[in-house]
Amino acid sequence: MLPPKALLDALSHQASRLFGGESPLPRAELEAQFKVLLQSAFGKLDLVSRDEFDSQMVVLARTRARLEALEAKVAEMEAKLTPPTEAE
């Protein structure tokens, strides 16, 4: 993975090559080249897709709910094992 500054420098260099050419590129070709450039840059980062992020959030929420249920059950069992102290 590239450090952020190196990634931005590489993007800047590629973009200046793309946009600073002697002959202007047609819009469709320019968009295609820019898309390839961005995909290459994002490929070098440690990113996850939105779908993967959302599915992990669902797993995390389910895990938290199960953990809370287990904590409640443990507290209930501890309460049953520990006899209440009588006030004197």
How do the pLDDT tens digits run along the chain, 88 residues long? 567 777 777 777 777 776 666 666 677 777 787 788 888 887 877 788 899 999 999 999 999 999 999 999 999 999 999 877 765 5
Spatial separation of the C-alpha atoms in residues 41 and 62, rounded to whole Å: 34
For residues 66 and 40, the answer to whether their CB atoms sit within 8 Å is: no
**The pLDDT of residue 20:** 67
Spatial separation of the C-alpha atoms in residues 69 and 61, rounded to whole Å: 12
Q: Which helix (H) or strand (E) holds 74?
A: helix 50-81
**The pLDDT of residue 9:** 77
**The pLDDT of residue 44:** 79
The contacts of residue 36 (CB under 8 Å, 6+ apart) are: none
**The pLDDT of residue 85:** 72
